[in-house]
Structure 1
Amino acid sequence: MGDLHQPAKKEHPISTPAGFAEVLRRHRRAARLTLERLAEVSGVSARTLSDMERGRSKGPQHRTVTALADALGLADADRRQLVELAREGRLRDRWARPSGLCELPRSVEDFTGRAAGLAWTGELLRAGDAPGAAGVGLITGSAGLGKTTLAVRAAHALRPDFPGGVFFLDLFGMSAHPLPADEALGLLLRALGVADQQIPGDVAGCASLYRSLLRVRRVLVVLDNAAFEEQVRPLLPGGGAGRALVTSRRLLAGLEGVRRLALGPLPPAEATELLTGILKERGASDDGPAVGGLARLCGGLPLALRIAGNRLVSRPGWNAADLAARLADEERRLEQLSAGDLKVATAFGLSYEQLAASTRRVFRRLALVPGRTFDAALAAVAGGTSIGEAWDALDELVDLGLLHDSTSGRYRFHDLVRLFARDRLQQEESAAERDALTVAMTSWLLRTATTAGRWFEPGYGDPGHAAPDAAELSSAEEADRWLRVNADNWLGALRHAAGTGRFAVVLDCTESMDWFSDRWMHAPHWYEVFTLGVEAAAALDDPARQAENLNMLAWVHLMSRDDPETTLLHTAQAMDLATRSGATTQIALAHHHAGGALRRLGRLDEAIASETRAAAIHKTNGDIDRYCHCLGALATCLRDAGHHAEAMERYLDLLALLDDDRPGVTPSVAAIVRPIALARVGECLALLGNRAEAVVKLTEAIGLMERVQLPVPQARSLETLAALLAEEDRTGESRHAYARAAEVYEAVGDAEASRRCRDLADA
């Protein structure tokens, strides 16, 4: 009971260990010394002692602490305690203040563009601490695109958001010896204030300590020029307050939990703006168009723009036009893009040296590809390797930014990278090797193009006819796509073959395009293709084949150039050559194309006579496919001559012929002729006053044209349909048809017709 009357024990909170200031003050008082007296005895100033006891100086140097311990007469445990508390204070003090290590480089004052990239980094790095979010941004792209410049610019702009510090570390990813992860971690830990003796001796321990610091400290670490995933992975935060921004020429596809930004060249306006900003230092204005032209020659590559600008700034006597004239020479462009230690070729060379020997060979040989894009099949031919090995090489080149790829499986160079590849080819392979490679590549392209073109000849590939000799083109659809996407490649090969006197190969290719050209009549290159064919046949002194190519050239002037007078000149030449050589098919074709030109010129009686003669010859020859073409053309002449009912009867006869299996019209030919004939029936019905039925026929024809990809006739039929719908007061449908016609005209490059239809759609 007595215990109940005892006063309750007072509970104390758990005490924290005394700090250096408190322990020093206790020892001074125990020694009965004033600050001034301790200062006098120890040799440490009274001001410094006051800062220590007030906690303003938590970690004095070891020699200072030793002097104080001697003055206070401390020994053994008391002495060790004071020394240890001072050491811990020094560590905490180091963590709390900037170390000067891994300092962020300066940002260039004339930084231009990349607004989307800056916004991306700001959004990513300012984002809240979502659970599991690592807060890592990866900026990739080829040499010279300004990845580091963008990262540094963003880091400077974001510095206020990171009170714990902003740090920068070059990982030397393109050197022969990239910075090892353990060394990188050591540098970063020291920058974060960790003393050498506190840094673990293994990578796993360093990475764990590093992540623990970034989890609680709001810091941004810029990891520049990363080499590979294994180097970067230990340097990334594991979540929490810290953020990281990584740049690399490689895609680093194996990194998980990062957000990616792929840089491309600057658009023309931003490239010109950057160059203009650099040139402000000259104090003289350069001609605007000349600066824009110089920017275009730099291909939107910030490094090239910087070099060009620096060269002009350092040479006041030059102007932009002078330097542009030097860069216009492709053979010397890379040589000219050099200013001091800045060289575009050197930047590309660092990436080139990272490649396997087999990939370097593929890379430099791809410089000989005639067109702007290519696929793995052509890369295999260029590299003299298998398709599988070509895929591997292309993947490596894309990974390092030396090639750009697309979802369609096509690859392309940046213009300056192509020049670098060509330079490597000239330096590393002999002229004989280059010539042999060019012949092999052009031969493959022309052989494939010729096979692809023949897919559209009547009967080709059918049972009983010759089978395709290019296994990779197993259908007309594949052949069509190959010819379209590789047009600049096989056309370049055709030019080379013509220039080196391989005229028989040229003729095989041009003649194979006869039927395919009907499917792609708006393509801009047919004039050159068939002109090369005419010249090759003349060089071989083959009048029949010269007549054939002249007829195709006449077709080009009639269909895409709208030049009937020149068409008549070519058909007259073709008629003479075909007559002398007995080439009846070419005689008929000359009559047919002449009929089209005469119709355009309003000489309708002559046009009807020419088409009638052409139809008769084809019928006699048993060429039903070409006979169908002539029947349709004859009906069109009758329509234009005002014989609308007779014209419609001829079109209906043609449609009946196409639907009859007995004459043997080739399905691919029928697929093209049928929608055109159907559209002409619609036009005749309209001329005869039956607009409602005309709308039905035209609508059906337009659908068929879209299915078989006949954009030019489709656009014209849409325009005709739109006018009929307007006459029927179906205004909304009319506007829709005009708008669709405008789109198709625009797609085939007829800007004037597109504007006309657009205006009518908006009226």
Structure 2
Amino acid sequence: MENDASGRGEFGQLLYRLRGDAELSQEQLAHAAGVSVRALADLERGRARGARRRTVRALAEALGLDEAGERALERAAAAGRPRPQAGGTAVVRGALALPRDIADFTARGPALDRLRAAVRQADGEHAPVAVVSGEPGLGKTSFAVHAAHRLAEHFPDGRFAVDLHGMGHEPTEPRDALAALLRAVGVPESGVPAGTGDRAGLWRSVVRDRRLLVLLDDAAGEEQVRPLLPGGGRSLTIVTSRQALAGLEAVHRCDLGVLRREEAVELMTRIVGPERVGREAQAARDIVDLCGLLPLAVRIAGQRLAARPDERLGKLAARLADEGRRLDTLQAGSLRVRAVFALSYRQLGPAARRVFRRAALAAGPDFGPEIAALLADLPIAQAARHAEELTDAGLLQPHPTAERYRFHDLLKVFAGEQVAAEDGPEGIRAALERTDRWILSRAGAAALRFDADHHQDSPHADPDPESLPAGQEGARAWLEAECANWLAALRRAARAGHHRQVVDVAEAMHWFSDLNQHWELWVEVFRSSSDAARALGSRQEEAVHLNYLAWAYNICVHDHQAALAAAEAALTAAREVGDRLQVGWALGYGAGALSRTGRVTESIAWLRDSAACLGALGSVQAHLGELTVLNTLGNTLRQQGRAGEALEVHRRAELICRAGAPGRSPDLAELYGAIIRQNIGNDLAALGRWSEAEPELSSALARFEARDVKPWSAPARLDLGRVLARLGRRREAFEALTAAHEALGALNSPRRQEAAAELDALGAVR
């Protein structure tokens, strides 16, 4: 009987009219505001006379009301709220006795120790208050109850617990909680004041001279908690909340995190039994990992197994491995991970919910406000505010140093379910297409900061030039931070057949890729771009990107057979279109692959042909290629025991570089000069001229470090360490080789083994 207006009351009539104006069904408005359809129907029909302020705010936002409209709705709601009689008290929900402790409670020892220390240090002037916060499922209430039982002996005058129902539709009013607490400590009904302020004052007065422990569970926010806190005395108040309650001053914070893996396995062992876990130890580890080490999820998995004594742990691990069934599997009786997450999700306003669920579409381990804003189709400032709101609500985890956020694994699964259900395929597609266009444009513009053929300060068609990161350092930081997102966008562009976009972005990345030679993703990037160029029918661009691919195979993943195949394909394409520059590059890349596969004589011949081809062209790009090839030729000759010839080749490269061959960029000239000095230093070392080699290598290393190019500085440090050892400067050699070993390992470089061998030899000498 939705159209019956009789008995509705002012609020119900107004809400019904506003919903009609917005052309929303009850189901649509209930979903947008995060309330149940039944609760909304009761409000409209007058069965529930006055909605709480939080509900009014959610309804106003879902209806799109302005400030005046929200105020009018709030006035109507306030008029219908019941008012207690003078001196009377409403009944607070939740018993005041502490809940029972959990016998199999596991871990949290350090947090409990810190809380115990806070109790010992209480000075009587300021009653200690502990706030236990964190994301859903961390076991905040379990920890608080466990701590209360462990600390009970310090509080002989009473231990009480009040459920504040912060996640419920109607959170407990501070006035009602105070009445219950006052009665619990012996204040007669007639002595309980009517007003919240008077009750709070009486509570502070009564508590000052007693040693009480009060657990305020599931707080909605600071306004609800503040009147319940004592002033002076030695009573302890423990507050649990999914909100950070950052506005509470001078409190002890217990920010719980997920369990360590061994702690999670211990919890499962206590629930399931050591024999079952011992028989399937790896399956137990897999289960807790798939639970994201979240205490609630581990407990549910354990209790599910305990209720099925004949079920193998491996069976549950296999079910949890299916991400689409994971949240369905994580339920045992009334305990359900999805329900716990949904409770927090429903507390959010529509825009915050949109940011939360669409952020699940972001690739990689974390994301920044830009990506959140693009996916949610909101201004960046608004998306950033909602990301902070989600962090305070425990639904996102903040990065310790950057303005970036990440999901707990299970929360990301939940967010993915919500985006699929609420936005559907079309909404998801639109969000990703909008984000992909923007991020690929930004990625190309940022990468071109490193291109020697472009002016470094030009925005290069960036989608938002005003927010483009400043300079090469800013561009590099952005490209590295958003690597997973722009790579995912490039993949989708390739699948969608946006071939020109793929080629252009990969071309922009060419120079930047040199700074991150350890990234295996360059194989995927340049394989996609060479395929895209082929699809476009551009054999010239195909030759270019096949050469990039050959480089990536050679340098990034050390697959030299694949590198040779890519170089040969590039050589064929370049010869077909008469592109001598790409012919020269293909010969050079192919020569590198030949050398690394043991075909050294062929490699040297290819390198000489490449140098001759490039040297004859006379262009800036050709000179860059000639320098690269000469460096490779000299290194190959040195590795063949022909260090004298190698030194001649590298001296020739040095002359070309000094003549200004690297072109428009002084930084590029400096970088090429450093590479040549490193090679000359290694040639001199191979000739046993150690004292001459040391300054060349030191100079090269200093230049690499000044430009923060670790793929080049780490090998140079290894070369320098080897020379220092031969010069008898063992302490310096040890420091250089140790640092090189660590850096080469981080770069996944095969030269790490060389550093280890040099350290072993140095240790034997020492």
When normalised by structure 1's length, the TM-score is 0.82
Corresponding letter in the other structure for 2:431: L
1:152 aligns with 2:140: no
* Whole-angstrom distance in 2 between the partners of 1:292 and 1:281: 13
Retained in 1: the 8 A contact 2:730–2:762?
no
Equivalent AA in structure 2 for residue 533 of structure 1: S
- Map of 1:80 onto structure 2: none
Output the amino acid matched with 1:450: G
Cα drift, residue 719 of structure 1 = 2.1
Instruction: Output the amino acid matched with 1:413.
Output: F
User: Which residue of structure 2 aligns with residue 700 of structure 1?
Assistant: 699
2:156 is paired with a residue whose SS is: coil
Match of 2:451 in 1: 457
Residue deviations 1:647-677, cap 9 Å, x none? 3344344345444457635234334323222
Deviations 1:27-72 (A, max 9, x none): xxxxxxxxxxxxxxxxxxxxxxxxxxxxxxxxxxxxxxxxxxxxxx
The answer to whether 1:493 aligns with 2:492 is: no
Match of 1:711 in 2: 710
Classify 1:741/1:463 alpha carbon distance in 2 versus 1 (closer, same or farther; 3 Å). closer
Aligned residue in 2 for 1:479: 475
2:213 maps to 220
Query: For 1:432, which of 416, 419, 426 is the aligned residue?
Result: 426
Distance in 2 (CA, whole Å) between partners of 1:369 and 1:272 is 31
- Structure 1 residue 758, shift from structure 2 partner: 5.8
Instruction: Judge which range, 393-402 or 659-668, deviates more.
Output: 659-668
Instruction: Give 1:481's aligned amino acid.
Output: A
CA distance in 2, matches of 1:204, 1:265: 38
1:412 aligned to 2:406?
yes
CA distance in structure 1 between the partners assigned to 2:301 and 2:381 by the alignment: 40
Q: Secondary structure at the match of 1:522?
A: coil
Residues 757 and 215 of structure 1, relative CA distance in 2, 3 Å threshold: farther
> Which of 273, 278, 282 is residue 280 of structure 1 equivalent to?
273
The whole-number CA distance in structure 2 between the counterparts of 1:708 and 1:276 is: 52
Structure 1 residue 284, shift from structure 2 partner: 7.8
Q: Which moved more, 1:645-654 or 1:186-195?
A: 645-654
Residue 171 of structure 2 corresponds to residue 178 of structure 1: yes
Report the 3-state secondary structure (helix = DSSP H, G, I; strand = E; otherwise coil) of the residue aligned with 1:333. Answer: helix
Q: Which runs of 5+ in 2 are unaligned?
A: 1-93
| Partner of residue 250 from structure 1, selected from 228, 238, 243 | 243
Match of 1:315 among 308, 313, 319: 308
1:462 Cα deviation (Å)?
Answer: 4.6
Superposed CA deviations along residues 114-154 of structure 1, whole A, max 9, x for unmatched, are 22212221111232416x43311111101101111111111
Matches of 2:256 and 2:287 in 1, distance apart? 21
Match of residue 142 from structure 1: 135
Q: CA RMSD for the aligned pairs?
A: 2.4
- Name the residue aligned to 1:441: 435
Q: How does 1:219-238 map to 2 (within 5 A)?
A: 219-238=212-231
Aligned residue for 2:28?
A: none
The answer to whether the 8 A contact 2:624-2:662 is kept is no
- Judge conservation of contact 1:294–1:323 (CA < 8 Å) in 2: yes
Distance 2:493 2:130 in 1: 49
The question of whether the paired residues in 2 share the 8 Å contact of 1:370 and 1:489 is answered with yes
User: How far off is 1:360 after superposition?
Assistant: 1.0
> Pairwise mapping of residues 222-621 of structure 1 onto structure 2 (< 5 A)?
222-280=215-273, 286-406=279-399, 407-462=401-456, 470-471=464-465, 472-619=468-615, 620=617
Distance 2:580 2:262 in 1: 57
Does the 8 Å CA contact 1:223/1:247 hold for their aligned counterparts?
A: yes
Deviation, structure 1 residue 219: 1.6
Distance 2:540 2:260 in 1: 51
1:198-217 matches, cutoff 5 A = 198-217=191-210
2:254 alignment partner, SS class: strand
Note the alpha carbon deviations across 1:619-653, whole angstroms, 9 max, x for none.
Answer: 41501333332232233233334443443344344
Which residue of the other structure, out of 190, 201, 208, is the alignment partner of 1:197? 190
Which SS does the other structure have where 1:237 is aligned?
coil
Alpha-carbon contact 2:338-2:414 (below 8 Å) kept: yes
Decide whether the 8 Å contact of 2:624 with 2:661 is kept in 1: no
* Superposed displacement of residue 692, structure 1: 1.9
**Using the alignment, how far apart are the partners of 2:236 and 2:406 within structure 1?**
34
Q: Structure 1, residues 474-504: CA drift from partner, whole Å, max 9, x if none?
A: 4222221111111111111222222233233
Larger mean Cα displacement after TM superposition, 651-660 or 589-598? 651-660
**Aligned match of 1:58:** none
What is the DSSP-based 3-state SS (H/G/I as helix, E as strand, rest coil) of the residue aligned with 2:216? Answer: strand
Structure 1: unaligned runs, 5 residues or longer: 1-99
Closer/same/farther in 2, CA of residues 458 and 153 from structure 1, 3 Å limit? same
* Deviation of 1:601 (Å): 4.0
Which has the larger displacement, 634-643 or 301-310? 634-643
Equivalent residue letter for 1:607: S
Answer with 660-669 or 328-337: which moved more: 660-669
Q: CA deviation at 1:603?
A: 4.2
Output the CA distance in 2 between the equivalents of 1:267 and 1:761.
39
Q: Distance in 2 between matches of 1:201 and 1:305?
A: 45
2:135/2:395 contact within 8 Å kept: yes
CA deviation string 1:79-130 (max 9, x = no partner): xxxxxxxxxxxxxxxxxxxxx9611111211111222212221111232416
Q: Is the 8 A contact 1:655 1:674 kept in 2?
A: yes
TM-score normalised by L of structure 2: 0.82
Q: Is the 8 A contact 1:141 1:250 kept in 2?
A: yes
Deviations 1:400-446 (A, max 9, x none): 01111112111111111111111111221232122111221222222
Select between 378-387 and 118-127 the one with higher mean Cα deviation: 118-127
Q: Cα gap change, 1:608/1:408 in structure 2, threshold over 3 Å: closer, same or farther?
A: same
Displacement of 1:720: 2.2
Q: Secondary structure at the match of 1:514?
A: helix
Larger Cα Rg: Structure 1 or Structure 2? 1
Does the CA-based 8 Å contact 2:449-2:471 persist in structure 1? yes
Please state whether the residue corresponding to 2:450 is helix, strand or coil: coil
Identity %: 38
The number of aligned residues is 663
For residue 126 of structure 2, what is the aligned residue in structure 1?
133
